[in-house]
Structure 1
């Protein structure tokens, strides 16, 4: 009887934790930006909505994210340790001599903001590469 109670408790707690993480995604803001002297792009994802701004003075275009795409974003986001975002190292350095726009990933969760150091647009650190590519895919559409 004790074993059943223990198993039930573990399942209940596990289910609560996963639903809490999904609930946190509803209030999480993921922002990717890339900029250089003549280039500006900003992608903001929040609560199954994406907003894309192409140009410094441009108005953002907002669209609903399909469930399949949203699930991919959530899956990749859950793999990231937001506490370590600021310590990620860029794999290339083209941005130092105007060879690439400066990319940046910023995540706001539970009223805290976590941000990467600048990296070359198109060449994010390995730890966030899949998430960044999912975000930039919204621009190609």
Structure 2
């Protein structure tokens, strides 16, 4: 009996020392929006796909995320403290006088919604700057891909 309880405690305590498991981006949905009266951008990332919408009325353009970009996004996602997201303060306030679009980052993970306070598009809080920059790079890639397709289809 002592041997059995010792074995059980060893396994139980061993599992408890592993620390927090890493966040799995495979089960997450990341939504980045930026808007003003005349501008709208929405980027949704889910299951290695990115959907970019440049206008409130147009359809989103969906593309597959390249493996290297996905690996970087996974790393940045794991470094992001989801619980802290709602507490982050914007470093600038240009959105208050139409100097910048109003941006938000929302992450839906394991059935819970984590949402940032609004911040200036292009000037995210320092703690999420790298992941926001990476998310926005997909919209830039999408624009370049569309220009290339239009140019070569003529």
The TM-score with structure 2 as length reference comes to 0.78
The higher radius of gyration belongs to 2
Q: Distance in 1 between matches of 2:95 and 2:133?
A: 18
Which runs of structure 2 are paired with 1:42-81 in the superposition (5 Å)? 42-81=42-81
Count of matched residue pairs: 128
Structure 2 residue runs without a partner (length 5+): 1-9, 142-154
Other-structure match for 1:25: 25
Cα RMSD, aligned residues only:
1.9
Aligned residue for 1:104? 104
Unaligned ranges ≥5, structure 1: 1-5
* TM-score where L is the length of structure 1: 0.84
Q: What are the within-5 Å matches in structure 2 for residues 105-120 of structure 1?
A: 105-120=105-120
Residue 25 of structure 1: how far off its partner (Å): 1.5
CA-to-aligned-CA distance 1:4-51 (integer Å, 9 cap, x gap): xx8xx969x85xx45xx4xx3211001110000000000001111100
User: Whole-Å Cα distance in 1 between the matches of residues 106 and 119 of structure 2?
Assistant: 12
